[in-house]
Amino acid sequence: MSDLDRRARALRALPPSCGPVRLIAVDGHAGSGKSTFAARLSAAVSGTIDGDGVPVLHLDDLASHEELFSWTDRMLAEVIEPLSNGRTAHFHPYDWNLRRFGPPRPLEAAPVVLIEGVGAGRRVLRPYLAGLLWMEREAEESWQRGRNRDGSELSAFWDDWTVAETRHFAADPSRPFADALIRECHEGYEWLPGPAETARPNRFITQGD
């Protein structure tokens, strides 16, 4: 059993936090590797190698050009409210090319659901989270990775984004409340105790780990 498998098993053992759902947030700077990590964690939590993992909600689907961080009401109404009642959520994903929201997409009220994106651990959402994971990569390095990935055609967008992200985390930081810090290594990920790791009775990282 790999380290990621052991961590995934610990997530499945957490008490539900949003109705019957264990909602796990993966937060960090844009370009820090959240999406890749969330995909691997999703497969590990479900216990599959190939095929579908546990549901993952990407916050890029809730944000928009006009509302980079002002998607809280949409999140609460379209995702949190139905999941907390054990119902499948239906959210309207944003098309970044067409600049409009699309038809509803289902999000199952599975035993574990991952939320990944900048601001996933924001203040309003934390009461509904079973756990908060923070990708431990510095802002400037993360942003440069994102710029390299997206190319020069999105340079102006990144200029605006970095300002908006800095303002967001200054007003509503996530890292101080993280249960674990996730550091990408050459082979896999290193899980480190987060600032809030000892604050909850159900700990992510125990002496046994």
- The band of 152, judged by pLDDT with boundaries at 50, 70 and 90, is very high
Q: Cα separation of 68 and 175, whole Å?
A: 19
Between the two ends of the chain, the Cα-to-Cα distance in Å is 12
What's CA 96's distance to the chain center, in Å? 19
Q: Return the pLDDT at 171.
A: 98
Above 70 in pLDDT, residue 201? no
Q: Give the global pTM.
A: 0.92
Q: Return the pLDDT at 79.
A: 98
**pLDDT digit string, tens, across residues 11-35:** 999 999 999 999 999 999 999 999 9
C-beta atoms surrounding 1 within 10 Å? 7
Q: Return the pLDDT at 197.
A: 75
**pLDDT digit string, tens, across residues 96-116:** 999 999 999 999 999 999 999
What sections of the chain are H helices per DSSP? 3-12, 34-46, 72-75, 81-84, 139-150, 155-171
Q: What is the CA radius of gyration of the chain?
A: 16
Place of tokens 């993992």: 53
Tell me the average pLDDT across 145-166.
Answer: 96
